[in-house]
Chain A
Amino acid sequence: MNGRPLLDWTWIVEHLDDMAFRTAQHLWLAGIAVAAGFVISFALALAIRRIPNLYGPITGIAGVLYTIPGLGLFAALVPITGLTTLTAVIPLTLYTLLIFVRNMVAGFEAVPRDVLEAADGMGFTPGRRLRAIELPLAIPLIVTALRLASVSTIGLVMIVSLIGDNFGGLGLFIKEGIQTFFPTKIYVGAVLSLVLAFLADAVFVGIERALTPWARARAQSVRGAA
């Protein structure tokens, strides 16, 4: 990398469409994985709510999966699923499970007992209680989980390109940059992924605020009292 400037602006301007394309690929992979992880975890969290004894085993397995290095899990799937989208999406999804299940269960747990009893006393069916009481109250933790899962998945997608070029994503810029000793490519990949992660973080913080107007009202009244 000696002798070359750290940033080659002409290259950047000439490759804006490449950047857009790979950013889209990156978001696409992360999006599928987070969506799939959300749905699976929601089902698991509902099952745990019904059978609390499942919590230990489910988070235990998810925890063990979490310790497997991403690179290894991607590579281990190549002989089975080939270089398809599945190879990328399965590990990404598995990694989100721990984050989602823990937060969703914590979200349901955070609903005060007397609120549940009041709902039961008012004749809510279990389904309606879930929809009208428990879910809204669990939203802050569920959105937090979405935020953590999205951000960590965006980071993990960076690694996918090490398995095969055809997955694309922003990590491919870094890989090519290292192979060709071209720092500009490394920076483009790294900086775009940082921006993507921060944006995802900010978007979910915004959603969390919008969905929980009472939290802001409470914070203000507490501040006013003090």
Chain B
Amino acid sequence: MDAFAAGFAWLADPAHWTGPDGIPTRLLEHVSISASSVLIACLIAIPIGLWIGHTGRWAFVAINLANVGRAVPSYAVMAIILPISLSFSPEYGLALIPTFSAMVLLAIPPILVNAYAALREVDRDLIESARGMGMRELQVLRRVELPIGLPILVGGIRTAAVQVVATATLGAVFGYGGLGRYLIDGIARRQFDRLTAGVMLVAGLALMTELGIALLQRRLTSAGLRAGQTTGRPYRGMAETPAAPVQPV
């Protein structure tokens, strides 16, 4: 508990809230690299996931690739990219490129797998009746599959975002800023209050990310699905979002 007290005392010190190593700067660095890498990962993974989910084509290949991607340790990815990116760009090659690329790679698999699963979970009969009503494929996707699958899709973004926020900490090993700075510097200088404060900040940010997106997820669950959950209609469970990464097919 002493460690906690020391960490809080460190956080309370106004001197730690200003300057290039201040909490606001580090927090902003951390949030900006996390948000931008999750965004880029979304732009890559959601279209692919929706396409394979809607058509059912290439699903086996894509899901297995995503699972293989999940096995890749981010620290190793950063390390592999470092020497290469450094030879290309001495300015950004040291910190930014390795951290950013590793975070994008980390975020793609859960988003892709969940985007795929979101559409696969939709009752086939619903899709058939939508087609029977004369909807075109894009309409089926937009008006039937997406609204029903949205919570699961957002669940993937949630998993990815939490992992990215926690893992972006490692960027500090390669010279990136962010909250990981406090951990690395705390270990190097044997300043355990700095270290504990850093741990609390990263864990707090990850929890806020988790809760924030969970809230968004609940709001995005269409009213019909929510009602179905309480009255036990056949669509029950669909709105239940896998907080854990969706299991491989």
Pairwise interchain contact B195-A69, C-beta atoms closer than 8 A? no
In chain A, what residue has the closest Cβ to B74? A155
Verify if A57 is at the interface (C-beta below 8 Å from B). no
**Residue among B70, B73, B180, B192 with the highest chain A CB neighbour number at 10 A:** B73
A194 to B180, CA, bound (A): 23
Contact for A201 among B67, B192, B243, B247, CB less than 8 A: B67
CB-contacts of B157-190 with A (<8 A): 162, 165-167, 169-170, 173-174, 180, 183-184, 186-187
Pairwise interchain contact A68-B203, C-beta atoms closer than 8 A? yes
Q: How many residues of A contact B (CB 8 A)?
A: 47
Contact status of A178 and B82, CB under 8 A, knowing A71-B170, A72-B183, A75-B187: yes
Contact status of A67 and B210, CB under 8 A, knowing A72-B202, A154-B73, A198-B71: yes
Pairwise interchain contact B244-A99, C-beta atoms closer than 8 A? yes
Pairwise interchain contact B247-A76, C-beta atoms closer than 8 A? no
Pairwise interchain contact A75-B166, C-beta atoms closer than 8 A? no
Verify if B138 is at the interface (C-beta below 8 Å from A). no
Verify if B49 is at the interface (C-beta below 8 Å from A). no
Pairwise interchain contact A141-B247, C-beta atoms closer than 8 A? yes
Verify if B79 is at the interface (C-beta below 8 Å from A). yes
Verify if B72 is at the interface (C-beta below 8 Å from A). yes
A102 to B244, CA, bound (A): 8
Nearest CB in chain B: distance from A29 CB, A: 14
Verify if B3 is at the interface (C-beta below 8 Å from A). yes
Pairwise interchain contact B75-A6, C-beta atoms closer than 8 A? no
Verify if A193 is at the interface (C-beta below 8 Å from B). yes
A102 to B72, CA, bound (A): 22
Nearest CB in chain A: distance from B18 CB, A: 23
B196 neighbours in A (Cβ, 8 Å):
72, 76
Nearest CB in chain B: distance from A187 CB, A: 7
B71 neighbours in A (Cβ, 8 Å):
151, 155, 194, 197-198, 200-201
Q: Given contacts A103-B244, A178-B79, list 6 more A-B pairs with CB under 8 A.
A: A67-B165, A67-B206, A76-B195, A79-B192, A162-B173, A201-B67
25 A/B residue pairs, CB under 8 Å, sorted by A:
A1-B87, A6-B83, A63-B243, A64-B207, A67-B203, A68-B203, A69-B169, A71-B183, A71-B184, A72-B195, A72-B196, A72-B203, A155-B72, A158-B76, A159-B170, A163-B187, A171-B75, A174-B75, A178-B173, A186-B79, A190-B79, A193-B73, A193-B76, A197-B73, A201-B71
- Residues on A lying within 8 angstroms of B by beta carbon are 1-2, 6, 63-64, 66-73, 75-76, 79, 98-99, 102-103, 141, 144, 148, 151, 154-156, 158-159, 162-163, 171, 174, 177-178, 183, 186-187, 189-191, 193-194, 197-198, 200-201
- Residues on B lying within 8 angstroms of A by beta carbon are 3, 67-68, 70-77, 79-80, 82-84, 86-87, 162, 165-167, 169-170, 173-174, 180, 183-184, 186-187, 192, 195-196, 198-199, 202-203, 206-207, 210, 243-245, 247-248
